[in-house]
Amino acid sequence: MTATTPAPTPPEPQEPARSPHDQKGSYVHEGKSFQRDMRYIPDRITRDGRDGWPVEAGRYRLIAARACPWANRTLISRRLLGLEEAISLGMPGPTHDRRSWTFDLDPDGRDPVLGYERLQEAYFARYPDYPRGITVPAVVDVPTRKVVTNDFQQITLDFATEFAPLHREGAPDLYPEAQRAEIDELNRWMLHRVNNGVYKAGFAGTQDAYETAYAELWEALDVLETRLADRRYLMGPSITEADVRLFPTLVRFDPVYFSHFKTNRQPLFTMPNLWAYTRDLFQTPGFGDTIDFQQIKEHYYVVQTDINPTRVVPAGPDLERFLEPHDRDLLPSDTWGPGGSAPLSPLAAEVVDPAHTPLHVTGR
């Protein structure tokens, strides 16, 4: 797709156009349950380029804030598959206003590749009147500086499949064909009950809506606790796309969701299998080394002022817990799958601030 191609029509908006906060910056609407706008830009980057976006090394830039769990999935997938050199990375800061995520961590507050101060500019470059939330993750076409897609559900699947020619040697098969139907079913269930379930509880505008979401979330977590009793990962002995999607929610549970979203039946660290599973993945290259706990906490506690009007960021929890032994390797294990291997250390420019994580990773 060239710069002279006419701007396509954006996906049809729905009312209200909120993802997830409204134009006044509110997340909670009194008297209403939380409904996430799941309409995203549907374009895909594929090997055959059927949507106008062919897979090309160096052409695309992933914009993914460390604070956001949906974006965190793409950071993990990119690391595990070794796509760091093929897909560059822009990282907004943890806080944003009602307009857009901003590149306030970069020199002069501008993304060094795109030259933008706000992610909003990439959306408007393609859709001048883009009607909904400016969300991360987003993939931007570097030559035109236009957003390609923000469909977080599809981005990691395409990283695992369409970008296969650019994978590192020893990259795991995160979306094995023989398990795709089961992975898809599990992912749909986790999306509504767990990944978005914490938001349904946290952004509920009525007691009934909150209690319904709370009950569904904990019912789902109990199911996952049982599922992980005799298997190391969600699909068995090897890591898959399902683990990439569940981990960002679990790693945020005790630092944020337990208190901030009132999902407080019990801390995750009191659930033997889920907590050991979370520690296991946190200590696995490609997972924990993408986690910046300070940015995560600042995002929720500073941005979501209708839940936390004081913007006070809690000091806890004790992050060293994430490094405790987990013994998950006693279960049948083939972490990286046949012929697979662990990813290299993060690029030096992408290492998490050591003050924000219990891990101390040296970049390449």
> How far apart are alpha carbons 289 and 291 in whole angstroms?
6
- At 3 the pLDDT is 34
Cα dihedral: 22, 113, 39, 152 (round 10) = -110
Eight-class DSSP state of 91:
-
Answer whether 174's CB lies under 8 Å from 80's CB.
yes
Distances (CA, A) of 359 to 79, 313, 362: 16, 21, 10
In the prediction, which pLDDT does 324 show? 97
Please name the amino acid found at residue 105.
L
Concerning whether 40 is annotated as a catalytic residue, the answer is no
Rounded to 5°, angle at Cα 292 from 194 and 340:
75
What does pTM read for this prediction? Answer: 0.93
Domain boundaries defined on the chain:
178-356
Q: What is the pLDDT of residue 193?
A: 98
Rounded to whole angstroms, how far apart are CA atoms 277 and 271? Answer: 10
The pLDDT of residue 12: 44
pLDDT given at position 98:
81
Which entry of 40, 60, 199, 257 is annotated as an active-site residue? 199
Task: Measure CA 346 to chain center.
Answer: 17
Judging by beta carbons within 10 Å of its beta carbon (0-12, 13-18, 19+), is residue 208 exposed, middle or buried? exposed
- Topology given in CATH for the domain delimited by 178-356: Glutathione S-transferase Yfyf (Class Pi); Chain A, domain 2 (1.20.1050)
The predicted structure's pLDDT at residue 20: 47
Torsion (CA) 11, 12, 18, 19 in degrees, nearest 10: -20
The DSSP string of 292-356 is -HHHHHHIIIII-TTT-TT-PPP----GGGGGS---GGGS---TT-TT--PPPPPPGGGPPPGGG
Q: What is the DSSP letter of 62?
A: E
199 is catalytic: yes
Low-confidence ranges of the chain (pLDDT < 50): 1-7, 12-24
With left for phi above 0 and alpha for psi between -120 and 50, is residue 38 left, alpha or beta? alpha
**Structure confidence by residue, pLDDT tens digits, 135-175:** 999 999 999 999 999 999 999 999 999 999 999 999 999 99
pLDDT in the model for residue 201: 98
pLDDT at position 5 is 36
Catalytic residue among 68, 277, 300, 301: 68
Total residues found in the chain within this entry: 364
For 5-60, write each residue's pLDDT tens digit: 334 555 543 333 334 444 345 788 888 888 898 999 999 999 999 999 999 999 99
